Amino acid sequence: MSTFGWDQMTEWWDKNLGDEGDLWHRTLIDPPLLHLVGEVSGLHLLDLACGNGYLSRRFARQGAIVTSVDANVPLIERARAREAQEPLGITYHVADAAHLDMLADGAFDLVVCNMALMDIENAAGAIQEVARVLGSKGRFVASLSHPCFDKVDTSGWEIEH
């Protein structure tokens, strides 16, 4: 069991990422991810571990048909509230990334997992689910934090295995 969870960080996370991502995401993390993702118009896209959905909204504005999943109920509630204020057709689900039973086999052209795979307790199970929900020509684009930037020991965030 984790000593400090994402539920306790919802307000801080949502405030800092907002609708466009924080400074780190806007300048360092998102540009190479978006370059790898490329054109999304018309694609069925899964934003896995979407957080507050800021990238989901960006992809939907670019014409993607977006489904978003996160295990954090309060963050999904905030994402749904934004969807209610500015409807973009995004479907949000609360689910563990390793258990995407609500999603059909081969349903997606693209799965994006931005800065989250390293925080998913069952990453192997999540990757198996990504393989299942991707179409035969689908792509998986993920970004990860390099271990040298891991501050788990100082932040108190950890997953015990």
Instruction: Give the mean model confidence (pLDDT) for residues 100-129.
Output: 94
Q: How confident is the model at residue 26 (pLDDT cuts 50, 70, 90)?
A: low
Q: How does residue 160 score in pLDDT terms, banded at 50, 70 and 90?
A: very low
Whole-number pLDDT of residue 115: 79
So what's the pLDDT on residue 157? 45
Query: What is the pLDDT averaged over residues 81-99?
Result: 97
Superfamily of segment(s) 6-155: Vaccinia Virus protein VP39 (3.40.50.150)
Residue 41 pLDDT > 70, yes or no? Answer: yes
Three-class SS of residue 99? coil
Q: Is the pLDDT of residue 108 over 80?
A: yes
Alpha-carbon distances, residue 98 vs 59, 83, 87, 131 (angstroms): 23, 25, 28, 11
Q: What is the mean pLDDT of residues 111-127?
A: 90
Query: CB of 6 within 8 A of CB of 75?
Result: yes
> Are residues 60 and 46 in contact, defined by beta-carbon separation less than 8 angstroms?
no
Torsion angles phi and psi, residue 121, rounded to 5: -55, -45
pTM score, two decimals?
A: 0.81
